[in-house]
Structure 1
Amino acid sequence: MSFLGPKLLLKIDNRLRQAFPRQQHEPFGGLSIILVGDLGQLPPVMDKPLYASHSTALALWHSFQTVVTLDTSFRQQGASNIQQQFRAILQNIRNANPLQTNWEALMSRSSSKLPIDHNKHFDNSIHLFATNASVKHHNTKMLKQLHLPVARCLAQNSRQTNPEYNNDEQLPSELLLSLNEQVMLIANLWIQAGLVNGSLGQIRSIIYDTDSRPPDLPKYVVVEFKNYSGPHWDNANPKFVPIPPITRGSRTQLPLAMAWALTIHKSQGLTLDKATVDIGKAEKQGLTFTALSRVKSLHDLRTEPLFSFERYSKLQSNAYTTMRKKEENRLSALSIQISASPPHQQL
């Protein structure tokens, strides 16, 4: 639900009322809707959080009266002191309570404070940045360091598209591909087999038709996905998967993106083995919390560059923080009421 803003909520409501005209006067066309998520994470891009919406969308949001609160962190689970410390740090960040001791613990994970041999474990870790410009810079630097040929792949467009608009139907206008490049899948191709939006892999082959070459689109790109669990396309390499171009709206392109670095927004929902995090200069609702909570343990985190306690304290200054806390108190009260209800009323 943190991905969902008032604009999209209203569109969903309107479309369901159209689809079910007999219940068009009921919210969401009379259907049962379940929202799952954490309001402490980043709000939707180009929209507001649901609790900060205008009257119509807010009424829809308030129509959700059954609340189930989950209170166990599975990503950072564990009974060790370091795990308990990390969970406490994240909880304080989420609650906009920046403690000096928490900041010092995070600074102990900076590249300048870690031993050289420990730093090496993060050389190939995903870097998280607050801005697209920083992501592009790091990805380009890593691509150059491969010292391998690069194929420029231009999307095919069935209608005229503004060349300055780099993203049509969520597919990029241009891709730079190379062997061993780290990429992310940006479409749900086969959920049951693990080929989902956000899956990470490495390019092993780039295959063209006999009469094609860059900047034409490849016939397919072979990507090694460690989490792939489907049938073997290559028996010798069971994690290799051919990824062909797909069409969305007016654009045809490979559903891939360079992924040595990601924006913190794009990382939301991912669990990373290791991460190097730059939280940037400005705080947004949920930005620092989302960035630092992508890993399972404090040992899996590197902070780079160092950030001041003043920057850390900006957790408290976001306009949505007070509103979110008030809203979470309201939801908590509803959750308590549900818990206190007779068993036959609980769903």
Structure 2
Amino acid sequence: FSELREHGKTKATQTLLQELQKILQTMHLHVNFVRAAAPTGSAAFNIRFNASTIHRLIHWLNPRFFRELKQNDKSLARFQAFMQGTQLVILDEISMVGRQFMGKIDSRLRQAKAGRNPLDRDLGGISCVCVGDTGQCEAISDQQLYDGRTHPNTIDEPSAAKVIFSNKGLGIYSSFDKVVILTTCHRLQTIENPTNDKDRAFNDRADQFLQILHKIRDLNLSFDDYFWLCKRKKSRLNPDERMLFEDAPVIMDLRRISTTNPENNCDFYNKLVLRSHARKHHLPVISFDAVHEGTTQEDGLEIDERHFNDLPANLEVCYDARVILIANLAVEHGLMNGTQGKIKGIVYGPGCHPNHPDPLCCLPKYLIIDFPQYAGPCFWPDIDTHPERRTWVPLLPISIDDAGQQSISRTQ
């Protein structure tokens, strides 16, 4: 565990995995002897070394529902074969793993090794290394691992499953007996032997910033600290400083809708930036509606996108506009929630175009997105003459059923 963020936990994890792989090669052991995972796709990708999400590692395919894999079930056989050679698991960003989550990891790993190790062995007898800062992002809808209080059993729980998993998770966390604490900050370092006022001023700001990070971690932020951070608000920056952040992504809360300041709404801001980009480069903005089944097109467009897992009724795109993934597509290849890219093509099928009278023909066949982080198979045959297409990925429309009306679906 690390005392504070910026201490290089990810680098330490990568170095550990690199050294372990050397040992495995020397001992002629399979590379899957060690597996690494994290709660999110972005965190898993940052680890490298074929790391995956924890859900994928333990074959928990639907995060909303957890069930034990049944004996004589093909899914259990596949999972046991997948984990057959694994004896060490490294879990990163452990602050996002709560007691119930850890209990489910324990339950699934026991099943993975049921044929080899006794079922009463924690984590199925697999060694586990947890990496993270427990003062960072907390587990969602779960108790923190270090929370020793009794699980709050509520009236709406039809079974004791949550209590059981929560107690299991607490027991697993309590069984860890070795802790390594990183105390030196590596990501933000001061300038050694500063020779001028500019360097000394930087060191002062860096020290103060690290101190404030520590206070935020401990929920001990003062008004003075807050106002010091506010010096870097967009409204306080001069034009040259703003230009430095022109291409930086803006983090906004989709749930907050302002009627008095619409520029603070995510959709409004995205359209504003898209049109600014189009005007600057003299490009058209293409708009297309989602296609609905089980209802009329007009009625379908009126249904809130939250009914379709946030799949929008209308989408506007423009060449070279920036996009960001909001779901994991292929973590092992660098396509996960948070990955950024740029639109390089809008491809329609034969006879289809944005103004076609048939709504299905108004929808592009696929969008071509350039994801610089993409490291999977190439989709284009002319890679030798166009090497820039190596990271181009086609994204096809998807269909999602209405959460309330299973007979209605939206394709976008």
Which TM-score band applies after superposition, normalised by the shorter structure? 0.5 to 0.7
Give SS of 2:367's match: strand
Which has the larger displacement, 144-153 or 200-209? 144-153
Change (3 A) 1:248 1:149: closer
**Aligned AA (1:178):** V
Name the CA distance, whole Å, in 1 between partners of 2:126 and 2:410.
34
Give the deviation of 1:184 after TM superposition. Answer: 1.7
Give the deviation of 1:35 after TM superposition. Answer: 2.3
**Which protein, 1 or 2, shows the higher relative CO under an 8 Å CA cutoff with sep ≥ 6?**
1
Give the deviation of 1:136 after TM superposition. Answer: 4.1
1:176 aligned residue (311, 315, 325): 315
Give SS of 1:93's match: helix
**Contact 1:3/1:44, CA 8 A, preserved across alignment:** yes
Name the CA distance, whole Å, in 2 between partners of 1:113 and 1:226.
32
Name the CA distance, whole Å, in 1 between partners of 2:331 and 2:106.
28
1:118 aligned residue (241, 246, 271): 241
Give SS of 1:15's match: helix
Confirm whether residue 41 of structure 1 aligns to residue 136 of structure 2. Answer: yes
Q: TM-score, normalised by structure 1?
A: 0.57
CA RMSD of aligned residues (A): 3.9
Name the CA distance, whole Å, in 1 between partners of 2:390 and 2:368.
10
Match of 1:244 in 2: 395
Give the deviation of 1:151 after TM superposition. Answer: 4.0
Match of 2:123 in 1: 28
**Contact 1:245/1:253, CA 8 A, preserved across alignment:** no
Give SS of 2:232's match: coil
Match of 1:105 in 2: 228
Deviations 1:279-320 (A, max 9, x none): xxxxxxxxxxxxxxxxxxxxxxxxxxxxxxxxxxxxxxxxxx
Q: Which structure 2 segments of 5+ residues have no match?
A: 1-93, 152-166, 192-201, 257-264, 279-283, 294-302, 402-408
**Contact 2:366/2:397, CA 8 A, preserved across alignment:** no
Match of 1:66 in 2: 178
1:287-326 superposed matches below 5 A: none
Match of 1:273 in 2: none
**Aligned AA (2:182):** L
Name the CA distance, whole Å, in 1 between partners of 2:130 and 2:398.
29
Give SS of 1:222's match: strand
Change (3 A) 1:65 1:248: farther
Change (3 A) 1:28 1:177: farther
**Contact 2:290/2:410, CA 8 A, preserved across alignment:** no
Give the deviation of 1:128 after TM superposition. Answer: 1.9
**Aligned AA (1:166):** R
Give the deviation of 1:174 after TM superposition. Answer: 5.5
Give the deviation of 1:115 after TM superposition. Answer: 1.4
Give SS of 2:234's match: coil
Name the CA distance, whole Å, in 2 between partners of 1:230 and 1:18.
31
Give the deviation of 1:165 after TM superposition. Answer: 7.0
Match of 1:50 in 2: 145
**Aligned AA (1:205):** G
**Contact 2:346/2:368, CA 8 A, preserved across alignment:** yes
Confirm whether residue 18 of structure 1 aligns to residue 141 of structure 2. Answer: no
**Contact 1:167/1:173, CA 8 A, preserved across alignment:** no
**Contact 1:195/1:228, CA 8 A, preserved across alignment:** yes
Name the CA distance, whole Å, in 1 between partners of 2:377 and 2:128.
34
Change (3 A) 1:213 1:34: farther
Q: TM-score, normalised by structure 2?
A: 0.49
| Equivalenced residues, count | 249
**Contact 1:171/1:253, CA 8 A, preserved across alignment:** no
